[in-house]
Amino acid sequence: MLPLSAHPRLGLYYAMQANHFRQFSSIIRQGIERLGFDRVLLVVLGAAVTVLFVLGMGKDLAGWDDSKTKVTFFQIGTGSTGGTYFPMGQALAAVISQPPGSDPCLPGGHCGVPGVVAIAKGSAGSVANVRAVASGRLESALVQANVLAAAYAGTGEFEGEGPRENLRVIANLYTEAIHLVVARGMDVRSVGDLKGMRVSIGPDGSGTRSDAIAILAAYGVTLQDIEPVEADASRSAEMILTGRLDAYFLVAGAPARSIDDLAMRGAIDLVPIRGDAADQLVLERAFYSRFSVPEGTYRHVEEIETLGIGALWITRASTSDRLTYQITRALFDERNHATLVSAHANGENVTASTAVRGVPILLHPGAERFYFEAGILAR
């Protein structure tokens, strides 16, 4: 009796499977050489291998030919793992990825861009992200609206660096909340009460740091009035628990992972950002809006009035119009909505109808084409 692998049809199948696996392994090696291991999320690539090697058998036996499909690696800069950008970036990478050999778009599944392998990459945050995208180190990233406007104009954090006019917007995804978190038991009722305390303003390169400094100044608090700490969300939460920090700022979609963990332990309170100083910020800075974090968002925390700011997905003007159009279409494909929602509660707010609101710079022509076709923009 011949072994199964010697059967003509099965032998051909095994040979095709092995060839597919070798091809995709080569693709992965190329991606790693290009992107490096440093904080790179490889979950999407692992899933792609599984889809290709396991689920791809039906396509091979049916005569599926994806040998001519070009693979495009597409990085998405995010933020710290304790914020919202990281899980949202993971979800964006999942919904736009469709490596060779993966399933076609089907109801109940997700619908990506053929040939795209997207990778969510951790970063310091918005300021670092705009620099990386503008310089070509990242294909795309998530950034705050105010940071994007400053980078485009070469002002604020980017004073003296020159305007980054090659940046373009794919979509305004959702509104982020500016959180002021304090250790439970601290007598802090307003931003002005932070004087003399150990306060994390976010790491260098983050949008949180830029907002924290602006908000402190609006309430008459300088960095000399506090003991400033530059730590990301995860580190700040750890320092709160160990008694080495009194308060920290975090700009993130609510609920933010690091704050949620602290609230579950009953370790923190949220301080409102409201009153005349907050109203003045809204008047002076068009990107800020009045925002409320509803009761129940965080355990043991009542509704809090604060400020909100848009979280945008950006790329470069030189990114292919066709690719950007396909990415935008995949982002708002109804088959992908469940993936976005499962990543974070703010995934529910990612809608085409709000994607062009509050955009401070030009939309990418590929994204713009989608919005015109969808009737979101009118000629």
The average pLDDT across 244-252 equals 96
Do 130 and 167 touch, CB atoms closer than 8 A? Answer: yes
Per the model's pLDDT, the better-predicted residue between 102 and 147 turns out to be 147
Q: Check pLDDT > 70 for residue 289.
A: yes
Look at residue 10 in the predicted model and tell me its pLDDT. Answer: 34
pLDDT at 53: 37
Report residue 54 as tokens.
Answer: 């396991």
Lowest mean pLDDT among 62-66, 151-155, 316-320, 365-369: 62-66
**Sign, CA torsion 261/263/267/272:** positive
Q: What pLDDT digit, counting tens, does each position of 47-59 carry?
A: 443 344 333 433 3
- Please say which residue of 308, 328, 349 terminates a domain: 308
Higher pLDDT, 263 or 284: 263
Q: What pLDDT score does 109 carry?
A: 65
Residue 42 confidence (pLDDT):
38
Q: Do 145 and 12 fall into the same domain? A: yes
The answer on 279 and 256 residing in a single domain is yes
Rounded average pLDDT over 330-356: 92
Amino acid at 144: Q
Closest CA to 281 of 232, 218, 343: 218
pLDDT confidence of residue 27:
47
Query: Using an 8 Å Cβ cutoff, are 110 and 339 in contact?
Result: yes
Contact 289, 309 (CB under 8 A): yes
Nearest 5°: the CA angle 202, 208, 212 is: 85
pLDDT score of 108: 61
What is the phi/psi pair of residue 212, to 5°? -60, -45
Shared domain for 45 and 100, answered yes or no, is: yes
Does residue 378 form part of some domain?
no
What per-residue confidence (pLDDT) applies to 17? 39
Residue 21 placed within a domain: yes
- Alpha-carbon Rg for the chain, nearest whole angstrom, is 23
Give the residue from 308, 326, 353 where a domain finishes.
Answer: 308
- Return the residue matching tokens 């406007």: 149
Q: What percent of the chain has pLDDT over 70?
A: 81
- Closest-CA residue to 206 (of 73, 365, 79): 79
pLDDT band at 33 (very low <50, low <70, confident <90, very high): very low
Domain annotation covers residue 227: yes
pLDDT at residue 14, as a whole number: 35
**Residue 163 and residue 183 in one domain:** no
d(CA 236, CA 232): 6
Output phi, psi for 374, to 5 deg: -85, -5
Say whether pLDDT at 136 is over 50.
yes
DSSP 46: H
Q: Does 131 lie in the same domain as 20?
A: yes
CA 359 to chain centre: 16
How sure is the predictor about 15, in pLDDT bands with cuts at 50, 70 and 90?
A: very low
Q: Is the same domain home to 180 and 284?
A: yes
Domain containing 134 — which CATH number?
A: 3.40.190.10
Same domain (yes/no): 183, 244: yes
pLDDT band of residue 205 (cuts 50, 70, 90) is: confident
208 and 273 share one domain: yes
Residue 39, classed as helix, strand or coil, is coil
Domain count, the chain: 2
- Asked, for residue 379, whether it belongs to a domain, the answer is no
Distances (CA, A) of 205 to 10, 231, 309, 370: 55, 11, 17, 32
Q: Which of 308, 333, 359 is the last residue of a domain?
A: 308
- Dihedrals φ, ψ of 158, to 5°? -105, 15
Calculate the average pLDDT of the chain: 84
Query: Based on the domain organization, do 39 and 166 belong to the same domain?
Result: yes
Say if residue 79's pLDDT is above 70.
yes
Q: Is residue 358 one of the residues assigned to a domain?
A: yes
Check whether residue 126 and residue 256 sit in a common domain: no
Q: Are residues 204 and 157 in the same domain?
A: no
CA distance 111 to 65: 19
Q: What is the pLDDT of residue 369?
A: 98
The parent domain of residue 205 ranges over 175-308
Closest of 126, 117, 138 to residue 35, by C-alpha: 138
Peptide bond into 99 cis (omega under 30): no
Flag whether 234 is in a domain: yes
Specify the range with the lowest mean pLDDT, choosing from 20-24, 243-247, 298-302.
20-24
Provide the b/e sequence for 99-111 (b: ≥16 CB within 10 Å): bbbbeeeeeeebb
33 and 148: one domain? yes
